[in-house]
């Protein structure tokens, strides 16, 4: 956003809101425009479980950057990386939980033990708790799923992206999009909106820090071919790639989606943990921009 933008008076749109408007404009406006929902006493367990797991995913990225930054960023002092990660963990988890994370990281145990302990420490110190009405999304099932996820990660291969004070872990999006179009009456219209959201990770290969890509984490009750193929055309991936390119000033065209099944199947190697890599071409960014304009105009 520029200093002249009055952000408070600009309509904010995230991917969830735009998808809802495209699914059913009336429902999208009522639910995400006026924030009206039916009264219910039940908890949104899928959302709560996903949020708890995302804290573990963020902790894993912090561990990865701390442990392997020297390979990817030989010109950045280790002390600088440590300071950046300390600041980011405090922002994400609070001072007390960040201190617990570093106490595990600095221990003398083997790496796998420290990875699992630090991740589970963040999970168990969070706000998630069991609901007697939901036997699938329990804390023990979340722990099992997170252990499977952490065991499958290749630490040190694709570390989070660092640029100055920026660390590519849980990047907030708050960008102003300005566009012009001719309406049905032949009148030129200029409009500004806010595109908001959060990118789970911006990463780079340890041998090529100048070619970053985004990572998105998803939790689901089932993974498979249909789940994987849904990201080939997903506007969420395209929009986040466009936003990350704007934030760091480097064009991004690749995204990696990491899926985690909750609860885990008996054999987690079979659709328990899934990784999908997709690419975006220029015409797909153009298609995303047209989709955003169409959605906003339908909403307004």
Tokens coding 126: 């969070």
Phi, psi of 14 (to 5 degrees): -115, 180
- Whats the size of the chain, residue-wise? 300
pLDDT at 71: 84
Task: Pick left, alpha or beta for residue 186 (phi over 0 → left; psi -120 to 50 → alpha; otherwise beta).
Answer: left
Burial of 82 (0-12, 13-18, 19+ CB in 10 A): middle
Q: What was the pLDDT predicted at 15?
A: 97
Strands 158-160 and 162-163, by their bridges, are unpaired
CA distances from 76 to 51, 85, 160 (A): 32, 13, 14
pTM of the model: 0.93
pLDDT tens, residue order, the chain (300 aa): 555 456 778 999 999 999 999 999 999 999 999 999 888 888 999 999 999 999 999 999 999 999 999 888 999 999 999 999 999 999 999 999 999 999 999 999 999 999 999 999 999 999 999 999 999 999 999 999 999 999 999 999 999 999 999 999 999 999 999 999 888 888 888 999 999 999 999 999 888 888 999 999 999 999 999 999 999 999 999 999 999 999 999 999 999 999 999 999 987 667 899 999 999 999 999 999 999 999 999 998
Residue with tokens 């039940």: 42
Token couple for 67? 């442990």
pLDDT for res 155: 95
Contacts of 44 (CB under 8 A, 6+ apart): none
């Amino acid at each position: 956003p520029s200093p002249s933008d009055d952000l408070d008076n600009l309509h904010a749109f995230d991917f969830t809101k735009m998808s809802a408007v495209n699914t059913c404009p009336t429902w999208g406006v009522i639910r995400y425009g006026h924030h009206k929902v039916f009264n219910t006493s039940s908890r949104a367990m899928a959302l709560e479980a996903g949020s708890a797991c995302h804290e573990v995913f963020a902790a894993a990225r912090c561990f990865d950057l701390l442990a392997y930054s020297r390979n990817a960023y030989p010109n950045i002092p280790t002390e600088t990386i440590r300071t950046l990660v300390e600041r980011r963990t405090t922002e994400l988890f609070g001072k007390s939980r960040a201190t617990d994370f570093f106490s595990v990281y600095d221990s003398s145990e083997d790496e796998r033990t420290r990875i699992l302990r630090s991740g589970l420490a963040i999970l168990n110190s969070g706000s998630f708790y069991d609901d007697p009405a939901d036997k699938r999304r329990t804390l023990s099932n979340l722990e099992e799923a997170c252990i499977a996820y952490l065991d499958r990660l290749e630490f040190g291969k694709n570390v989070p992206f660092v640029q100055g004070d920026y660390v590519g872990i849980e990047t907030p999006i708050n960008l102003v999009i300005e566009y012009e179009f001719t309406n049905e009456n032949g009148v030129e219209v200029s409009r500004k909106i806010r595109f908001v959201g959060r990118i789970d990770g911006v990463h780079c290969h340890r041998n090529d820090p100048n070619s970053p890509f985004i990572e998105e984490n998803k939790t689901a009750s089932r993974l498979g071919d249909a789940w994987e193929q849904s990201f080939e055309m997903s506007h969420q991936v395209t929009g986040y790639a466009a936003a990350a390119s704007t934030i760091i000033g480097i064009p991004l065209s690749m995204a990696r989606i990491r899926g985690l099944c909750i609860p885990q199947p008996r054999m987690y190697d079979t659709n328990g943990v899934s990784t999908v890599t997709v690419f975006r071409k220029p015409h797909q960014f153009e298609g995303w921009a047209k989709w955003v304009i169409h959605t906003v105009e339908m909403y307004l």
